[in-house]
Structure 1
Amino acid sequence: MAEETVVEKTWRLMLEGHPTARRGDPEVMEAAHAEPRLRALFPFPSHGCLTFHRNTEFPWSNDLPFIASGQQSYTVYAPQYSGVLGEVLTPQEAAALVVAHLPPDCGPAFEGPWPAENSTG
């Protein structure tokens, strides 16, 4: 059996609610994990949002859309709050909206920090 990647382990610990894992909206995390393209990215829940990164260590890529959980809806933002891509009623719709706005070259996350020359924040 192959060893888990950092991305796979991070998703697993978050979904299991492991004490060392970052906390976020469980429904959003499950919906995002169900999307193969998002499952390949590094998840980072913080401040009511679930962000996705192309790498596994700080500094983060910060160049992908993300989901913010609201009281009765979910807002999908463009990278770094540069615009609203949509507001939807379910976490599944939010995850699908993120996938629809991923860059075509957005492949699996690589292990390590985002290269300084590409850093956006």
Structure 2
Amino acid sequence: MPEAPDAATAWQWLLERRPNTRGFLTDELVEIAHATHADPRLRALYPWPSHGALHFLRGLPGEERPGERLPYVLYGPPPYTVYSSDFAELGEVATAEEAVTLLVRHLPPEPRRP
């Protein structure tokens, strides 16, 4: 399965449901993908659908910074469950937009560059 070379391409492929890419056959991913893409802070991250959840990466897959994890959301029919970076449940919400709000509220600050 090809991986997108950058976050913008990953979002494009996810939203257009490009064949043979992560999540392209998953109807339940569509609503949460569009809602998360609408937020500029989440859109700047690399979307990574895996095992029934939409994860976010600051870099390309396999290039994440050691120990850095971001909150994620389970996709499927509502309600949506949002989890913290350490796998603790942050909440269950009725809409994709509420899931975005919860995700963004728990994003850690961008690490400073040396």
- Cα contact 2:46–2:60 (8 A) shared by 1: yes
Q: What's the CA shift for 1:63?
A: 1.0
CA distance in 1, matches of 2:18, 2:89: 32
Matches within 5 A, 1:85-100: 85-100=90-105
Structure 1 counterpart of 2:59, from 52, 55, 60: 55
CA distance in 2, matches of 1:106, 1:17: 31
Q: Structure 2 unaligned segments of length 5 or more: list them.
A: none
- Tell me the equivalent position of 1:29: 33
- Tell me the equivalent position of 1:111: none
- Tell me the equivalent position of 1:19: 19
Q: Which is strand-richer, 1 or 2?
A: 1
Q: 1:47 to 1:57 in 2, by over 3 A?
A: closer
TM-score (normalizing by structure 1): 0.76
CA distance in 2, matches of 1:47, 1:68: 9
Residue type of the partner of 2:56? F
Structure 1 counterpart of 2:70, from 54, 64, 81: 64
Q: 1:98 to 1:20 in 2, by over 3 A?
A: same
> What is the alpha-carbon root mean square deviation over aligned residues?
2.0
- Cα contact 2:45–2:56 (8 A) shared by 1: yes
Q: What's the CA shift for 1:10?
A: 0.6
Q: What's the CA shift for 1:21?
A: 2.1
Higher RCO (Cα < 8 Å, 6 or more apart)? 1
Percent identity of the aligned residues?
42
- Cα contact 1:7–1:41 (8 A) shared by 2: yes
